[in-house]
Amino acid sequence: MNWEVPIMQSRTSCFDKTLYRKNPRRFWPITFRASLLLFLFEPVYLLSFVTNPGSHLLDLRYHLVRSLCEENHILWFLFSVACAMAVFSWLYNARSTGFTAALPLTRKSLFLTCYLSGLSILLTVLLFTGGVMLLIALICDLAVADLIGLWLLEGFLDILGFYGFASLCAMLTGSLVIMPLCTLALELAAVVIEELVRYLMGAMLFGYVSAGSVLSYASPLWTLLSRSRFDLVYAENEAVTDYVFSGMGMVAVYGLLGLVFTLLALRLFQNRRMEAAGDTVAIGVLKPVFRWCMGVGCGLLLAVLIYEMTLQGRYVPCTGGYLLLILALLLIGGLLGWFGADMLIQKHFRVFSLHRKGALLLCALLLCFGLSLGFDVFGLEKRIPAREKFDSVEIYCDGERAELDEEESIEQVMKLHESIISHRSIHEQRATDRYKMVSLYYYRGGRAIESRCFFLDAGREAQSDRNSDLRFAERVLNLSESIQERKKLSLPVTENSIYHATVGQWEYYEPMKYGITPEMVEAAVQESYADIAAENDASAYYFGACRDYSGYDWQLTPREAYELYTECILPDMQEGTLGRVWLVRDEEYAKSIYNIRFEMDLNVPDSDGRFASTWFYTVPTVHSKRTNAWLADHGVVLETYWNYLGRMGGREDVLE
């Protein structure tokens, strides 16, 4: 006789329909608020476009393309974090964790049920909003269906990427408050740490400037916001006719990476201690990692913040006391971050007797980092890229820039770079009061491989010394290629494209801003000639010496402007006598330019009735013979700025 009592076997399910249906009903406010917010950004904008009779289709396409590059990523990141918090919220409460873990569900089926329910919420919001947008576009006959399709595809990929990453972060902690902070911190950790390190390198290394981010791709949200772009489609007349989004490949990579994050989250969930509900760090082996990350991050952050507040935007060489300040801040911030992390883990303040060896090791590493930068152990300050490693170089100074690729020009820039480095002590000692900032960018294949930013001494001695680096930079900016590059126009110059052109008086009522001293004004007054305005009749287009000194503009016809630009200005610029840059504005400068300014506006219409526009200006010099002759033939009496100062020397506002 068999006395065994038959026992009903319980069956574990791989998917729980009840829990799957319960989450969307329970968390309906997320669906509602997300849909409402998206409505304000997209369908409402479509409706406002339809009701505005002055709207252009190109404006609508620009809005949708810009949305693909910017706010779309931010909104889906926020929605994804909110959904992950909601569907995994039971992990952060001991009672809810115990109840859910007791259900006849495997860890895998429990995770998949919660994950898919949150994914369904996000996809519902996406499809509903996208459907409304398509319906509006079809009813109102708007040619934007292709961009709405891209909007839906990008939203789906963003959901996969951000929601998968948020689900992974939900497994790392047992606190509902820490979970969104952890997600945001890990999302931006790589780029923030890199920027902090690069800031300190720029502060402590002479001339060092970051040439671009290396770790930004480890921060998906930052990368999508900063690197998503769109291309402009031009007509034959170079007017913009459309905008094309070109960043979907990068979005797809991060979307597929989100699936990898999901698998990692599943693996962590299967091995997670359910008793970790309420803990700051739910995975035991990650607690030391958390302390080290907090220590390094807080050390760098405190050093950057206090150093920046101390300087308040001033340039100060990081030597002596400032170097000691950065080292002290690194140590203090590192210790605060280390023991602050321990307090969060232990949930009490009695942590200073714990993990002391680790804290000392952290301080030693931070100290080595600071000293290596302070004494340039790796020789970064003196490093100049080898010629074969770059194709072109860009120089930027005093608001003027030029990208150079001719061998002679590049050689001059490299010599300037070497000269600045050899005179480092001079620039660091004297550039705290008066300086000019010079930036150099070395490019290879259109990408900057090296960047430098120097604060050159611009005091009286540097201005008067013909061999100073300030004068050297001025000569580089006035190379023929530099002038051509700086003054080139993005639109063709024709009689039809010239919208407005004038020749007018170029007055400076505040010469002290440009280095003109009272002594120079007094010298100009002594050399001033008699008032020649009385010798010119009113029909002469005279600007530099007009009686009332107020100045006025003479409007040129498109034919006159085209003739002046093509036959005079362009040849003079090719010879280097026009379009020059003056970093030193002294007596020579005042005697070399005329108080005349030529301005020209170009407008080119596109197929939608809009206009692409650009602007050109130049100031004639005593050496621009063709331009000067044309102006003189048309009745313009030329007066140097030096003589202008002589006549204006008696006016009070000249020396303000």
**The last residue of a domain, from among 223, 252, 282:** 282
Residue 140 has pLDDT above 90, yes or no: no
pLDDT band at 551 (very low <50, low <70, confident <90, very high): very low
Residue 408 has pLDDT above 50, yes or no: yes
- In this structure, are 326 and 473 located in the same domain? no
Residue 143 has pLDDT above 80, yes or no: yes
Residue 509 lies in a domain: yes
The span from the CA of 101 to the CA of 118, in Å, is 19
> What's the mean pLDDT in 435-460?
88
The span from the CA of 308 to the CA of 192, in Å, is 16
Residue 104 lies in a domain: yes
- In this structure, are 255 and 308 located in the same domain? no
Least confident interval from 159-173, 207-221, 413-427, 475-489: 207-221
Residue 3 lies in a domain: no
> What's the mean pLDDT in 389-404?
90
Residue 381 lies in a domain: no
- In this structure, are 524 and 580 located in the same domain? yes
- Sheet containing strand 498-505, edge to edge, reads 553-555, 498-505, 596-605, 611-618
> What's the mean pLDDT in 1-21?
60
- In this structure, are 278 and 347 located in the same domain? no
Q: What pLDDT score was predicted for residue 14?
A: 62
* Long-range CB contacts (within 8 A, 24+) of 550-555: 551/504, 551/505, 551/507, 552/504, 552/505, 553/502, 553/503, 553/504, 553/505, 554/502, 554/503, 554/504, 554/636, 555/500, 555/501, 555/502
**The last residue of a domain, from among 319, 339, 374:** 374
* Top-confidence residue, 1 or 591: 591
What is the share, in percent, of the chain residues with pLDDT greater than 90? Answer: 39
CB-CB neighbours of 195 under 10 Å: 18
pLDDT tens digits for range 593-609? 898 889 999 988 765 55
- In this structure, are 165 and 44 located in the same domain? yes
Residue 171 has pLDDT above 90, yes or no: yes
Q: What phi and psi, each to the nearest 5 degrees, are found at residue 67?
A: -65, -40
Q: What phi and psi, each to the nearest 5 degrees, are found at residue 26?
A: -70, -35
Question: Which bin fits 446, alpha (ψ -120 to 50), beta or left (φ > 0)?
Answer: left
pLDDT band at 635 (very low <50, low <70, confident <90, very high): confident
> Mean pLDDT highest for which of 122-136, 347-361, 608-622?
122-136
Residue 98 has which token pair?
């115990």
- In this structure, are 124 and 268 located in the same domain? yes
Residue 2 lies in a domain: no
Q: What letter represents residue 536's amino acid?
A: N
Q: What is the mean pLDDT of the chain?
A: 83
- In this structure, are 468 and 512 located in the same domain? no
Least confident interval from 83-92, 436-445, 640-649: 640-649
In the Cβ-directed half-sphere of 441, how many Cα atoms lie within 13 Å?
A: 17
> What's the mean pLDDT in 210-231?
84
Q: What pLDDT score was predicted for residue 322?
A: 82
* Top-confidence residue, 540 or 170: 170
pLDDT band at 544 (very low <50, low <70, confident <90, very high): very low
Residue 509 has pLDDT above 70, yes or no: no
* Top-confidence residue, 144 or 528: 144
Residue 206 lies in a domain: no
pLDDT band at 43 (very low <50, low <70, confident <90, very high): confident
- In this structure, are 236 and 272 located in the same domain? yes
- In this structure, are 453 and 500 located in the same domain? no
- In this structure, are 568 and 645 located in the same domain? yes
Q: What pLDDT score was predicted for residue 506?
A: 64
Residue 207 has which token pair?
């001339």
pLDDT band at 393 (very low <50, low <70, confident <90, very high): very high
Range of the domain at 123: 17-187+215-282
Q: What pLDDT score was predicted for residue 55?
A: 77
- Sheet containing strand 400-404, edge to edge, reads 208-209, 447-457, 435-444, 392-397, 400-404
Residue 207 lies in a domain: no
> What's the mean pLDDT in 522-551?
40
Q: What pLDDT score was predicted for residue 431?
A: 54
The span from the CA of 577 to the CA of 484, in Å, is 12
pLDDT tens digits for range 256-301? 999 999 999 999 998 888 888 888 898 989 999 999 999 999 999 9
Residue 10 lies in a domain: no
> What's the mean pLDDT in 443-450?
88
